[in-house]
């Protein structure tokens, strides 16, 4: 199916991600979006709540928000016209292989054979999720990042059967909706960005575990050094900037000293086993008051809005 043929978008699962994904697509005036969920969900109220900071900062006007909300409907009925007529489906149900497979089996029985199927799985394999489908060529991963209405990246992940046309159409749809899609050519755990993110987290935990620095210091070292440059300068542009010869010399010296464990660290295991679960329980790598945990989420959104919209 081509980009020009996409009009009706179905979001399966109206939770945190589903609502934000619906909002993202509502930026394209020609799209009609329907959110399907097994539970009655006030999607428009949820989107309004998520957009409070965008309104407050003047990134979005109240009129614009209302116009976008008018393009978003909700259904609990899998046999409705909005399911039958969907040109593109984005699934954002629970992160559970059986639930996702069952959802797509039901959708395949109702949608056209060329309806594009996308899964917003965070970590599961699109090839595995689509294994039982008849038309696997129209299936692709679309990994939105949380908060989905703010973070621009969407990883478009090819399964072992995704067609070129499907991948291309989905990239174009996402670009038109204001996202920055990137194509992940292979269905590998962590896709592109989480592989890098968790390589960094593994090293950060290892530094604490080995007594090199405490958790607060590790976070400071990132926030006030390469973390500041990252939105402007990716690691490979940076490597080219300093030279591949210098990068080679540094790697030759340092790589043997870095953490390369293939298991979650003993420190992380200990924290989990002791119920030190982070914000949820008030202690993880560090101690957290309820005020600090509330401020952290609000400040992150404010920061993202400032970075992305200059407001
Ligand atoms: N939360 C994140 O940070 C994040 C980021 C990227 C991707 N994801 C992925 O997005 C998906 C959704 O995550 P979320 O955080 O929005 O979860 P959530 O729990 O907020 O929402 C899931 C929704 O799916 C609905 N649902 C469950 N079974 C269903 C079914 N059979 N048919 C229709 N609806 C069904 C639930 O009622 C719920 O409203 C997951 O696959 C998750 O891994 C989450």
**Tens of pLDDT, residues 258-276:** 999 999 999 999 999 999 9
Active site residue 292: no
Give me the catalytic one of 26, 50, 143, 159.
143
Q: Mean of the pLDDT values across residues 105-117?
A: 98
Atom of ligand 1 minimally distant from the CA of 96: 41
> Percent of the chain scored above 90 by pLDDT?
99
pLDDT of 298 over the 90 cut: no
Active site residue 210: no
pTM for this prediction: 0.96
What is the number of other CB atoms lying within 10 angstroms of the CB of residue 28? 17
Query: Going by CA atoms, what residue is nearest to atom 28 of ligand 1?
Result: 93
Which are the contacts of 46, defined by CB distance < 8 A and separation ≥ 6? 14, 19
> Percent of the chain scored above 70 by pLDDT?
100
Give the residues surrounding ligand 1 with Cβ less than 6 Å away: 12-18, 36-39, 92-95, 99, 103, 120-122, 144, 146
Phi-psi region of 282 (alpha: psi -120 to 50; beta: other; left: phi over 0): left
Domains, the chain, with CATH or none: 3-184 (3.40.50.720), 194-309 (1.10.1040.10)
Active site residue 143: yes
Q: Which of 39, 94, 147 to mutate to test the pocket of ligand 1 (most atoms within 8 A of CB)?
A: 94
Query: Going by CA atoms, what residue is nearest to atom 10 of ligand 1?
Result: 92
Active site residue 122: yes
| CA dist., res. 149 & res. 145, Å (int) | 9
Q: Which of 14, 68, 24, 71 is nearest to 46 (CA)?
A: 14
Which band of pLDDT confidence, cut at 50, 70 and 90, is reported for residue 289?
very high
Task: Report the DSSP beta bridge partners of residue 73.
Answer: 34
């Amino acid at each position: 199916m081509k980009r020009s043929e996409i009009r009706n978008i179905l979001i399966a699962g109206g939770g945190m991600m589903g609502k934000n994904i619906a909002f993202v697509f509502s930026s394209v005036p020609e799209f009609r979006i329907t959110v399907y969920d097994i539970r009655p969900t006030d999607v428009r109220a949820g989107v309004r709540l998520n957009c409070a900071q965008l309104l407050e900062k003047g990134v979005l006007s109240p009129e614009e928000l209302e116009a976008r909300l008018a393009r978003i409907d909700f259904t609990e009925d899998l046999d409705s016209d909005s399911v039958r007529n969907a040109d593109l489906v984005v699934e954002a149900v629970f992160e559970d292989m059986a639930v996702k497979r069952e959802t797509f089996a039901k959708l395949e029985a109702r949608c056209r054979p060329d309806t594009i199927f996308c899964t917003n799985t965070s970590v599961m394999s699109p090839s595995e999720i689509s294994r039982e489908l008849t038309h696997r060529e129209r299936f692709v991963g679309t990994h939105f990042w949380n908060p989905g209405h703010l973070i621009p990246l969407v990883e478009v992940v090819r399964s072992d059967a995704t067609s070129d046309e499907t991948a291309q159409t989905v990239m174009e749809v996402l670009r038109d909706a204001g996202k920055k899609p990137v194509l992940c050519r292979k269905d590998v755990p962590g896709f592109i960005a989480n592989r890098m993110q968790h390589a960094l987290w593994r090293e950060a935990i290892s530094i604490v575990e080995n007594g090199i620095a405490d958790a607060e210091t590790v976070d400071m070292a990132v926030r006030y050094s390469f973390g500041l440059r990252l939105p402007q300068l990716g690691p490979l542009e940076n490597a080219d900037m300093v030279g591949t010869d210098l990068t080679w010399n540094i790697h030759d010296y340092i790589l043997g000293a870095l953490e390369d464990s293939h298991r979650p660290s003993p420190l992380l295991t200990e924290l989990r086993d002791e119920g030190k679960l982070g914000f949820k329980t008030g202690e993880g790598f560090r101690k957290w008051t309820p005020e600090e945990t509330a401020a952290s989420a609000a400040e992150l959104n404010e920061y993202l809005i400032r970075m992305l919209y200059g407001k």
